[in-house]
Amino acid sequence: MVKLSKKYIPSEKEKYMCEKHKIFFKQKLNDWKNEIIKANSETLYNSDLNDNSSSADIVDQASSYTDKNVEMRTVNRQMKLISKINAAIQRIKNGTYGFCEETGEPIGVKRLIARPIATLSIAAQEKHEKEEKIYADG
């Protein structure tokens, strides 16, 4: 079992997706997931405390409903993000993490540090975005 220092950052000089890289990204993904879960719990708890839906004032009720709607959409987005984080952790376990789903090429350490749930290399991502734009414009 490899132990990492708290200041460790994966380097391009190391073997790509070596044990240190895998441990680093797994920890980064788990920390991110735990932050999201904690934030969602606080959001849901606080929204229960601030419930104006039983207020006599129609404006307070409408405002409360709108706030809850926004909160629930945010929580929903965060749940999708947790799903992507879990999928990335699974890719670390099965050895496919860090490699482009389309080309099989390394995604790159810098890109993964910036976006640890990335599944496409920058070239494949740009190609997808161009195709989406052509499809949307067409």
The tens-digit pLDDT sequence of the chain (138 residues) is 678 888 999 998 999 999 999 999 999 999 999 999 998 787 666 665 555 555 567 776 677 667 777 777 888 899 999 999 999 999 999 999 999 999 999 999 999 999 999 999 999 999 988 888 887 775
Domain boundaries of the chain, sorted by first residue:
17-97, 99-138
pLDDT score of 32: 96
In three-state form (DSSP H/G/I as H, E/B as E, the rest C), the secondary structure along the chain is CCCCCCCCCCCCCCCCCCHHHHHHHHHHHHHHHHHHHHHHHHHHHHHHHCCCCCCCCHHHHHHHHHHHHHHHHHHHHHHHHHHHHHHHHHHHHHCCCCECCCCCCECCHHHHHHCCCCCCCHHHHHHHHHHHHHHHHC
Give the pLDDT confidence of 11-37 residue by residue, as tens digits.
989 999 999 999 999 999 999 999 999
pLDDT score of 74: 82
| pTM of the complete model beyond 0.75 | yes
Superfamily (CATH) of domain 17-97: DksA, coiled-coil domain (1.20.120.910)
